[in-house]
Amino acid sequence: MIIRQFNRAEDAKVNLTAYLLSDENDRGQKPCRGGILIFPGGGYHMCSNREAEPIAASFLAEGYHAFVLRYSVKEDAPFPKPLEDAEWALELLFKHAQEFQLDKEKIAVCGFSAGGHLAAALGTMGRVRPQAMILGYPCILESISPILAAPVPSLEKEVDDQTPPCYIFTTAEDQTVPVENSLEFALALSRQNIPFELHVFEKGRHGLSLAKPQTACGDPHGVNRVFARWLPMCVDWLQALFGGPYTL
């Protein structure tokens, strides 16, 4: 695996880390792989480590290149600055696609909580857009703004016929980002006839990430075997959408 970092500016507060699988398989062939562009959560106050490298490693294990964007937060959080960061990251992937052995037709954005808001913003409002969205317990509605570092646009109003297919997962018990955020976005997708898959798990708090011990940081409430199924189900969804992670 090759790891590279790209900084948007000299202060490096906004940066993209690329995790690139070997470009040659055991038969000497060089597959062109799909990619997952990951936006960690953190309320636009920070970027959670639990929703960064562990997510990248999980998608790497499924044959995808993975990319983690640490976007504008805190005093730099007001829109459209984070969206501009996301557009920069996606354009960088397009620019380096040949070098990365990256299939530009198989790029999904994956965001959690506030990162889910940013991923949905890129898919609905972006100057450039990914081919798919993966949204984990996403902030969608402007009514969620009081818990965030800055007010956010309400993204169910931004869904159009150019919005890419979407995989959404959340829990009915989430008290931080209520399930209505995911439901309203799914309804907006349905109205535009955008393909989507929605999973509302009954149990689970906000911010579960992979819901496994490696992302629970010693908290037993951060482990949830049922919720952890979101990842293999998402991989199946990507398989059906993209036809697998790579082409030869």
What's the pLDDT score for residue 76? 96
Please state the length of the chain: 248
Residue 247 confidence (pLDDT) above 80:
no
Query: Stretch 208-234: mean pLDDT, rounded?
Result: 95
What's the pLDDT score for residue 173? 97
Short-list 59, 156, 42, 52, CA closest to 106? 59
Query: Stretch 155-176: mean pLDDT, rounded?
Result: 98
Q: What is the pLDDT of residues 1-14, one digit of tens each?
A: 999 999 998 888 99
Report if pTM > 0.85: yes
What's the pLDDT score for residue 28? 64
Short-list 20, 111, 108, 3, CA closest to 63? 20
Give the model's confidence band at 243: pLDDT under 50 very low, under 70 low, under 90 confident, else very high. Answer: very high
Tokens coding 91: 């354009």
Short-list 139, 154, 108, CA closest to 206? 139
What's the pLDDT score for residue 25? 62
Q: Where are the beta strands (DSSP E) in 53-208?
A: 65-70, 102-112, 132-136, 166-171, 196-201
Q: If residue 94 lies in a helix (H) or strand (E), which one and from where to where? A: helix 81-95
Tokens coding 65: 């290149």
Whole domain around residue 185: which residue ranges?
Answer: 2-247
Residue 149 confidence (pLDDT) above 90:
yes
SS3 state of residue 147: helix
Tokens coding 149: 């570092």
Domain of residue 195, CATH code: 3.40.50.1820
What's the pLDDT score for residue 244? 83
Q: Which of 29-38, 78-87, 189-198 has the lowest mean pLDDT?
A: 29-38
What's the pLDDT score for residue 246? 84
Number of domains in the chain: 1
Q: What is the DSSP letter of 28?
A: S
Please state, rounded to an integer, the average pLDDT across all residues of the chain: 95
